[in-house]
Amino acid sequence: MDLPLIYAPEVADAKARGLPIVALESTIITHGMPYPENVEAARAVEAEVRAAGAVPATIALLDGMIHIGLTEAELEALGHAENVMKVSRADFAACLAQHRTGATTVAATMIAAHMAEIAVFATGGIGGVHRGAETSFDISADLKELARTPVTVVAAGAKAILDLPKTLEVLETEGVPVITFGQDDFPAFWSRSSGLPSPLRMDTAEEIAAAHAMRTGLGLGGGQLVANPVPSEYEIPREEMIPAIEQALTEAEAQRIAAKEVTPFLLSRIFDLTEGRSLATNIQLVLSNARLAAAIARALSQPG
């Protein structure tokens, strides 16, 4: 079977010319931010990738096809569509076969990017091990995907709604390199530091590209997680986020939120509880990740 891939014209052109490409996810648009800020943010992130010398490819599943790059109209429609599936590895094929609209999580975006031979992907935060996972078993499929699919994912670390020490433990067990950019501490999304040391540190996009190429050359399989701390001017200190996080977690438990709904529920409650402050930081950190991802993609496309 031919893969059901559709390339946006800009991405098809970039592939034909061998230009660096950065994949972008769509769950952040449909389940991670409110409309219309989500669409504005998605456009701004695409523009940032272009300004940094690469071509953006926002990925989504539309009407039975894997879209690598969305047109203006597709992005706008996705931004306020209803009943959009939040697609991971488990429901990727079912979403396509049923011709449903699916937003791709980090895991699903990695799968699609790899099919399209795109090696670098920028997002905000990855899914991880949820607090209480020792009883709920709620561990994001993003972690296993990082272990099996050879895409370098640039994120701002993981949110403190998760159990960060357990998330790092699982990544280590799964053989995923966790590389923090430019500092020793693993970042915690809105905050530059989680208080946990990062397993690896690199200070240039070229080093990260070389590590990606080395993994490919060695046949190790799997991707890399690059943790890029939010720029300090947009940081929200951890102590300021803790009350909103605690309240969102308490509400999720009281309302028995489970499975795929957990992360979107927590994200949306935290946006409300911080009155949009967390959203502004969220947008800035994705822009910063887009710039770093573009630099890595450019370094990878340079011979030698």
Q: Looking at the annotation, which residues are catalytic?
A: 25, 159
Token pair, residue 125, equals 């935060």
Residue 256 near residue 124 (C-beta atoms within 8 A) = no
User: In angstroms, rounded to a whole number, what is the distance separating the alpha carbons of residues 199 and 51?
Assistant: 31
Q: Judged by CB under 6 A, which of 11, 14, 15, 25 binds ligand PSU? A: 25
Least distance (Å) between residue 207 CB and ligand PSU: 25
Number of residues counted as binding ligand PSU (CB under 6 A): 18
Least distance (Å) between residue 140 CB and ligand PSU: 3
Token pair, residue 300, equals 């990878």
106 binds, among Mn ion, ligand PSU, none (CB under 5 to 8 A by kind): ligand PSU
- Site residues for Mn ion, 124-143, by CB under 5 A, read 138
Q: Judged by CB under 6 A, which of 14, 28, 70, 151 binds ligand PSU? A: 28
Total number of residues shown for the chain: 304
Least distance (Å) between residue 54 CB and ligand PSU: 21
Least distance (Å) between residue 88 CB and Mn ion: 9
Q: Judged by CB under 6 A, which of 105, 198, 278, 284 binds ligand PSU? A: 105
With respect to Mn ion, which residue has the nearer C-beta, 257 or 283?
257
Phi, psi of 83 (to 5 degrees): 55, 35
Sign of CA dihedral 163, 186, 269, 31: negative
Residue 280: count other Cβ atoms within 10 Å of its Cβ.
Answer: 13
- Site residues for ligand PSU, 114-173, by CB under 6 A, read 124-127, 140-142, 159
- DSSP assignment of 62-110 equals ETTEEEES--HHHHHHHHH-SS-EEE-TTTHHHHHHTT--EEE-HHHHH
- Site residues for ligand PSU, 262-281, by CB under 6 A, read 263, 267
User: In angstroms, rounded to a whole number, what is the distance separating the alpha carbons of residues 100 and 85?
Assistant: 7
| Residues paired with residue 157 on neighbouring β-strands, in sequence order | 188
Q: Known binder of ligand: residue 272?
A: no
Query: Residues annotated as binding site for substrate?
Result: 86, 106, 140-142
Query: Residues annotated as binding site?
Result: 86, 106, 138, 140-142
Tell me which residues touch Mn ion (CB under 5 A).
Answer: 138
